């Protein structure tokens, strides 16, 4: 029997190259997605409500593309052509955005970024397949790949705003086109021409022939936790500056502390999973989330904000480092479908959370929006409890 390797130091060269591919894919998205709202409202001067047109189109495109990609990959379709389609989507999306036309942004940029987002399903599925073939430790490698996404989102949004300050908004999209080109070249170099990630072979009684209720429960729990995270994250910057009265640098400091804790806990999550199950670890993350949201909503000083940010990063790091492995554990051989459900749970969460935050903030306050995130974390905890008798792989 092959011995599973337990730490990132044991990963082979291809495993690290796949992680680099994840980082570049995440960086291309992170260079554009957080900037689009600012671009539409602040640079182009459109009403905030128009951002909803872009967001809905992008999220629908992401969800549909992820679902199609997942089904096709499970069926044994080659990975590289689908991945290059996502790269092309990102390149065309950035190119269309340079014209500054709202119709092009909604029709082309949003659709192209939806295809780009769906690449995560492909690369995570490829990583899982490579890990299975090479007998890598699944939890450690999933967490390592997920950490690369977090690193991309730590670095690139700030870089985008630095670029716009130095060279203007159009330069942000030109940079994204360059990154998409590098991403495409790396995909050609790393992913073998005939690479597939077919369904895992199962015994007769284990073949997935119908609705997989445990998988749906696990994905819905991920949706609830992601919804809570999106609700808090979207309300936090304005809450800290406008309602609490902290300095303008406070949201950036909070994000830095949160991201540092997030990366640390993503790396620690696989080690903890060797002592407790993924479900128990996710339950701990949900309880920590409820505590974190209420601490953050009660912040009055910078030290209290730092404590809340550290708690937020800790819970989300545990969740991000564990949830993909937990969901794939109910895949019944259809890993790409499970991965697509995981990614769609994140996309859908953002789709619903941001408009709800705006509605609650308008009629109540941003602080109430953050406290409301506790409800999402509580719902996730309940759904995790309902999976306690389901057997994962």
- Rounded to whole angstroms, the Cα distance separating 117 from 185 reads 18
What is the structure's pLDDT at 211? 73
Instruction: Output the six-digit token pair for 246.
Output: 């902290």
- Please name which of 238, 218, 244, 229 lies closest in space to residue 372, comparing C-alpha atoms: 229
Each residue's pLDDT tens digit in the chain (393 positions)? 344 444 444 788 899 999 999 999 988 988 887 778 778 877 888 876 677 788 788 888 988 888 888 888 888 889 999 999 999 999 999 999 999 999 999 999 999 998 998 888 788 888 888 888 888 888 888 888 888 887 887 788 778 878 887 888 899 999 999 999 999 999 999 999 888 887 665 454 455 556 778 888 999 999 999 999 988 987 888 788 888 988 877 877 887 788 889 889 988 998 898 889 899 999 999 999 999 999 999 999 999 999 999 999 999 999 988 998 899 888 887 887 888 888 888 877 877 887 787 778 778 888 998 999 999 999 999 999 888 766 554
Angle at alpha carbon of residue 252, lines to 249 and 153, rounded to 5°? 160
- Rounded to whole angstroms, the Cα distance separating 328 from 337 reads 9
Q: State phi, psi for 246 to the nearest 5 degrees.
A: -80, 165
What is the structure's pLDDT at 225? 95
What is the structure's pLDDT at 72? 87
DSSP 58-126: HHHHHHHHHHHHHHHHHTT--HHHHHHHHHHHHHHHHHHHTT--HHHIIIIIHHHHHHHHHHHHHHHHH
Instruction: Output the six-digit token pair for 165.
Output: 């300050």
DSSP 79: H
5 strand-pairing partners: 136
What is the structure's pLDDT at 110? 92
What is the structure's pLDDT at 227? 92
- Please name which of 345, 344, 366 lies closest in space to residue 356, comparing C-alpha atoms: 366
Tell me if 44 sits within 8 A of 159, measured CB to CB: no
Answer positive or negative: Cα dihedral of 325, 326, 329, 335. negative
- Please name which of 30, 70, 36 lies closest in space to residue 56, comparing C-alpha atoms: 36
**Diameter of the chain by CA atoms?**
62
Name the one residue in this structure whose structure tokens are 């910078």: 302
Tell me if 157 sits within 8 A of 41, measured CB to CB: no
């Amino acid at each position: 029997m092959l011995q599973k390797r337990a730490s990132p130091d044991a990963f082979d060269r291809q495993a690290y190259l796949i992680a680099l591919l994840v980082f570049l894919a995440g960086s291309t998205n992170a260079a554009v997605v957080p900037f689009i709202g600012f671009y539409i409202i602040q640079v182009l001067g459109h009403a905030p409500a128009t951002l909803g047109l872009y967001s809905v189109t992008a999220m629908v495109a992401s969800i549909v593309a992820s679902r199609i990609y997942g089904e096709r990959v499970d069926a044994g379709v080659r990975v590289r052509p689908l991945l290059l389609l996502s790269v092309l989507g990102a390149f065309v999306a950035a190119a269309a955005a340079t014209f500054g036309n709202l119709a092009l942004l909604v029709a082309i940029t949003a659709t192209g970024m939806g295809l780009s987002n769906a690449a995560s399903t492909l690369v995570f599925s490829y990583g899982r397949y490579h890990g299975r073939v090479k007998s890598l430790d699944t939890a450690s490698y999933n967490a390592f790949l997920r950490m690369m996404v977090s690193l991309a989102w730590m670095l690139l949004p700030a870089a985008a705003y630095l670029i716009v300050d130095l060279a203007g908004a159009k330069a942000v999209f030109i940079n994204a086109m360059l990154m998409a080109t590098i991403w495409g070249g790396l995909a050609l170099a790393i992913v073998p021409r005939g690479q597939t990630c077919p369904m895992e072979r199962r015994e007769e009684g284990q073949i997935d022939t119908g609705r997989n209720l445990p998988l749906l429960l696990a994905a819905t729990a991920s949706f609830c936790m992601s919804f809570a995270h999106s609700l808090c994250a979207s309300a936090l910057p304005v809450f800290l500056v406008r309602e609490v009265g902290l300095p303008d640098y406070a949201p950036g400091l909070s994000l830095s502390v949160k991201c540092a804790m997030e990366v640390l806990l993503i790396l620690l999550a696989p080690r903890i999973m060797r002592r407790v199950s993924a479900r128990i670890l996710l339950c701990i993350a949900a309880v920590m989330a409820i505590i974190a949201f209420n601490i953050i909503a009660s912040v009055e000083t910078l030290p209290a904000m730092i404590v809340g940010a550290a708690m937020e990063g800790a819970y989300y790091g545990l969740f991000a480092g564990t949830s993909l492995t937990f969901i794939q554990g109910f895949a019944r051989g259809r890993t790409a479908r499970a991965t697509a459900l995981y990614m769609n749970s994140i996309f859908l969460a953002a789709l619903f959370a941001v408009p709800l935050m705006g509605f609650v903030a308008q009629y109540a306050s941003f602080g109430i929006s953050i406290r409301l995130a506790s409800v999402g974390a509580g719902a996730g905890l309940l759904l995790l409890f309902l999976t306690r008798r389901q057997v994962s792989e």
